[in-house]
Amino acid sequence: MFLGQKKEMARKTALDDPRIAAAAWARFRRLMRWMALGGAACVLAVLGVLYWMDTPMPLHMVIATSIGVWCTFMLGTGLMSLLFLSSGTGHDEQIEDLLKREMDRDGKD
């Protein structure tokens, strides 16, 4: 490991402060709870459309559809919430662009 790399790795993040970390994770959990309710509403809407189409469906297909819609909704909102958490705590600003240094050595912008 090079000396410069060791110094750069020692930078503290916003989540190292317990107060900021507690507030950020509380916000994340609160957002995910609301999104779980939104996912349940989405499942109910899908089941309503399926009922409205008046096609007979086996119980197992209804259960699989409900689980699939809810899990897909939660996966998308979970990933987006983690992006907001990362941005809100300053993790995005701490990324060092190693390719920029390489481009500076080549004399190009």
pLDDT digits (tens, 9 = 90+) for 58-109: 999 889 989 998 999 999 999 998 888 877 777 666 666 667 767 666 665 5
Question: What pLDDT was estimated at residue 44?
Answer: 92
Residue 54 has pLDDT above 60, yes or no: yes
pLDDT of residue 8: 52
And the tokens for 79? 């990933």
Residue 84 corresponds to which tokens in the numbers above? 């907001």
Element (H, E) at 41: helix 18-52
Q: Could you report the per-residue pLDDT of 17-43, keeping only the tens digit for each?
A: 788 878 888 888 998 999 999 999 999
User: What integer pLDDT is reported at residue 13 of this predicted model?
Assistant: 65
Q: Which pLDDT band, with edges at 50, 70 and 90, does 7 fall under?
A: low
Residue 102 and residue 109: Cα distance in Å, rounded?
10
Residue 58 token pair:
């086996």
